[in-house]
Structure 1
């Protein structure tokens, strides 16, 4: 299922695989466009936030100095580095979009949003065996991760500033459990690969606690995860470790499940209002520790309404030979490969930007990443896919 988050191949359910806009669900094109938005944010963030002058993000912890830095950027002159600051601070929120789409895809594939009887529920439970489900998705994750990890370690070993791996770090990455080890900031390398460990945890949570369960299970987990995080020191190590694991991703993941089950059609006017309000909410809620927790939800709302509005706009207006939805959808179709390969190109090109040629290094990074992602996508097709038994 993990490749469904990134790839263009939707499930057999018509509302996710069809190109027709059913209003009620996300179409294949819309899902791909959301993946495109998410991966653009992630791979630009993972470049920009390594540059010294840029405002740093509040991803795993909440640092007031980072928020103050964002405020100064928004209040100051918008120079040539403004977009670098924005992607550095906000780009990591592409992760919640992927988590939302993951839960949405799981629900559409395995539940199909239908109300079933207790007898049917028991039959579905037996059909979707717990161990088989977890094993299947672990193999899907590993199949994707290993290609990029092997390539990255070779490039890392022959470039300046190579990482010094310990045996347990490598074992944790191979087993997709390095999120559980102490000091994840220091041992997970390349850094974006923490996402694989997060996803296997959420697959386990879904199968054990959320699959065909009442919505109260989902909401209870979201509230519990919120309480755990809000009880922590905003800048403490405890919060950092919690947010490297499913505790930090439960809100957007749970929202995706609820969206798949209970969504109702929104008018264009409602989508427009929701988009504008959610964009303001993203910025304003970033300035308080209590509201910062809910920013991923605003991100998902803003992204979905933006894609819905763009889809309807392009349906109404003839853009001749250009389609922004088409561009985003194409990027979304290579998002899995782009995710696993962008640490490689970053390691090669970021010294250019660190030397002061910010836009030159970024442009080369983007071009090389997109081309390498296309090659990685073709390579991944050669690796046999696991079967759900």
Structure 2
């Protein structure tokens, strides 16, 4: 029964690439599994990092005391909070995976020739209209965001510790440009919704600078964005603001575009070596400010190779029922709804963990988030989707 549910959810998605893997491209199942990995990291991170004893992440700035805290956790005895420490410090790297997949999807959808486009994919204009493209993707993001934002503000208003919104903060959230305002940490609430502003920026960058252009444009933009961040002080507000915007997300986004254009199939052995090396790189590069900027790329490599290995393993063993791949793919199918609704369930259940019942609060949060995400997905399907003209 569960296998039928997983398969039905997967098959209702618009395919990014055909289920038969040609070249080094990702299949629908692999893309959904990557989304599943990414959203699991994000929604668990956004719960764990709110707990006071837990090591905090270096997401927008690089704090040496956070790295020192992680080192102490890894060196010390593992206790009941070890899982929370790891997810708090590393879970936010699900965002680069989403950026990688977004660029991959854009490239596969808009840059393939009609006769090589994914089976069942929507036909798109050969010459993308600039304002039509931006409007289409803005409406797609707004359609997701508004459902969660309305529900969250109501829950936030009737629970303890409610946020005090200012008029400009609300207008900026509605317009998906709140990333551009000063001190984004204080005005973007719920916090994860900064992602919508980041994505509309990257859509604009893609259409203006990267769409069907030579790979050198992509590489040059990655290098410029990398240099801007590296020139900032590790704990500076300047770095914080750059990383809230497309400057901070250009590396994984650009990598997704290059992967879609030039990827070639790897053997199982190559995937395994790349996965192991990238996992070590994620850990080791987190301990230096210069290499910390490259961690998102290592995360994308680790995620893609993990999914490739998982698919090859399950194909080789013939174990295709309630498998890890199917579970990840199903979670990926509700990832958009889970992203917009998990701040609601976090606000409700996190007091349980803050009072000391860490695992009870987390388990209730997971169960409620998955169920609410399924309901939100059904609700969002009732909202008419935009069309690209």
Scaled by the length of structure 2, what TM-score is found? Answer: 0.93
Residues 27-66 of structure 1 mapped to structure 2, 5 A cutoff: 27-66=27-66
- 1:152 and 1:46 mapped to 2: Cα distance? 15
Q: Figure out how many residues of one structure are paired with residues of the other and give that number.
A: 374
8 Å contact 2:39–2:94 — kept in the other structure?
yes
2:132 is equivalent to residue 160 of structure 1: no
CA 1:129/1:9 → structure 2, altered by over 3 Å: closer, same or farther? farther
TM-superposed deviation, 1:24 = 1.7
8 Å contact 1:39–1:335 — kept in the other structure?
yes
CA 1:266/1:126 → structure 2, altered by over 3 Å: closer, same or farther? closer
TM-superposed deviation, 1:80 = 1.2
What are the Cα deviations for residues 107-131 of structure 1, in whole angstroms up to 9, with x where unaligned? Answer: 00000279xxxxxxxxx99731000
- 1:185 and 1:335 mapped to 2: Cα distance? 24
Query: Which residue is 1:222 aligned to?
Result: 222
- 2:311 and 2:382 mapped to 1: Cα distance? 33
Query: Which residue is 1:206 aligned to?
Result: 206
What are the Cα deviations for residues 64-121 of structure 1, in whole angstroms up to 9, with x where unaligned? Answer: 000000000111111111110000000000000000000000000000279xxxxxxx
5+ residue gaps, structure 2, are 1-8, 115-123
8 Å contact 2:99–2:249 — kept in the other structure?
yes
TM-superposed deviation, 1:20 = 2.5
- 1:113 and 1:228 mapped to 2: Cα distance? 35
What are the Cα deviations for residues 265-307 of structure 1, in whole angstroms up to 9, with x where unaligned? Answer: 1000000000000000000000000000000000000000000
8 Å contact 1:7–1:334 — kept in the other structure?
no
- 1:264 alignment partner, SS class: coil
TM-superposed deviation, 1:225 = 0.3
8 Å contact 1:11–1:17 — kept in the other structure?
no
Residues 1-389 of structure 1 mapped to structure 2, 5 A cutoff: 16-22=16-22, 24-112=24-112, 127-319=127-319, 321-389=321-389
- 1:361 and 1:280 mapped to 2: Cα distance? 31
- 1:233 and 1:125 mapped to 2: Cα distance? 44
- 2:320 and 2:370 mapped to 1: Cα distance? 25
- 1:164 alignment partner, SS class: coil
8 Å contact 2:10–2:329 — kept in the other structure?
no
Scaled by the length of structure 1, what TM-score is found? Answer: 0.93
- 1:372 and 1:66 mapped to 2: Cα distance? 33
CA 1:8/1:56 → structure 2, altered by over 3 Å: closer, same or farther? farther
TM-superposed deviation, 1:317 = 1.0
- 1:238 and 1:175 mapped to 2: Cα distance? 23
8 Å contact 2:10–2:29 — kept in the other structure?
no
- 1:113 and 1:69 mapped to 2: Cα distance? 50
RMSD over aligned Cα atoms:
1.8
